[in-house]
Amino acid sequence: MGKEKTHINIVVIGHVDSGKSTTTGHLIYKCGGIDKRTIEKFEKEAAEMGKGSFKYAWVLDKLKAERERGITIDISLWKFETTKYYITIIDAPGHRDFIKNMITGTSQADCAVLIVAAGVGEFEAGISKNGQTREHALLAYTLGVKQLIVGVNKMDSTEPAYSEKRYDEIVKEVSAYIKKIGYNPATVPFVPISGWHGDNMLEPSPNMPWFKGWKVERKEGNASGVSLLEALDTILPPTRPPPAPALAPPLPRRPAPPPGACLHLRLSEALRQRLDARHQGPVEVLQKEKRPRRPGFRLQPPPRSVPVLPIN
């Protein structure tokens, strides 16, 4: 059997209307994560709503409100495979009203793909003081996402189309900003792409013969390539913490339960999936000062409530 591929989480961030969902959906399609028939279905439905250019975005934008408004509201997840990794890609909303959802998605990521629109006026709006290009990059770094890829999107919308001058201008300004917040631009691939047409997504684009590829220099080893997919495969594998006992915070309860009562715990969805309703095993309860109390022995979720832990 071949060696199992490493799993990584990637979040796609950037200013509203920079083309994040379209780029992500098109990449998923090109990587075989969704079939052609489904894309054709989305194309027909989007055209009926007068939003024909949203067919790839609808791979991830599934809410009725998202499709009607043409913006991402909540995070969306999709899995696909590259030659090196199993990838869970997280499409984050770009609108500032939904920044909490963006933070939720980014906090789970190993690498961020910052999508920057190259269209006239679009880049300037995103990189401005109140633009989400700046805020998303800063939040990603603050949340511990130290690996970054920049996709300079909508190269087909520059004047003239696929302008090398416009690309160089954007790279210079974005590099200066991400350096200021903590990233090393020498380790960040910059890839000129068109999320709609698919330029430089999987293979070199004939529309940009001037682009000779990206290069990154880092102590773990240098890398180079041309496409966005190649940039994803140069992500350094994340270091996962070793398996450890699950921790769950108690839910506040007033008044405090008497001895021998049930302790209600707040469980994440991931932890709920790991725990079986018939789960047996010692559960150690810790006080604030970390002094162990008597262990319980059964985790039994009631019919319509969070799981409870009887303290014996």
Q: Are 77 and 101 in contact (CB under 8 A)?
A: no
Average pLDDT over residues 257-265: 61
State residue 301's pLDDT score. Answer: 44
Give the total number of structural domains in the chain: 2
Length of the chain: 312
List the CATH number of the domain containing 30: 3.40.50.300
Residue 301 lies in a domain: yes
- Domain extent, residue 56, equals 6-233
Residue 254 lies in a domain: no
* Alpha carbons 33 and 91: distance in angstroms, whole number: 15
Average pLDDT over residues 128-153: 93
Q: Please provide the average confidence, as pLDDT, over all residues in the chain.
A: 81
Q: Is the domain of 96 the same as that of 201?
A: yes
Q: Is the domain of 179 the same as that of 129?
A: yes
Domain boundary among 233, 249, 273: 233
pTM, two decimal places: 0.75
Q: Is the domain of 154 the same as that of 109?
A: yes
Residue 203 lies in a domain: yes
What are the CA-CA distances from residue 132 to residues 97, 107, 190 (Å)? Answer: 11, 17, 18
Residue 250 lies in a domain: no
Residue 117 lies in a domain: yes
Residue 44 lies in a domain: yes
Q: Is 277 helix (H, G, I), strand (E, B) or coil?
A: coil
Ranking 4-18, 29-43, 103-117, 148-162 by mean pLDDT, the lowest is 29-43
State residue 309's pLDDT score. Answer: 45
Q: Is the domain of 53 the same as that of 147?
A: yes
Residue 246 lies in a domain: no
Half-sphere exposure of 108 (CA within 13 A, CB side): 20
Model pLDDT for residues 187-202, shown as the tens digit of each residue: 999 999 999 899 999 9
Q: Is the domain of 198 the same as that of 285?
A: no
Half-sphere exposure of 274 (CA within 13 A, CB side): 10
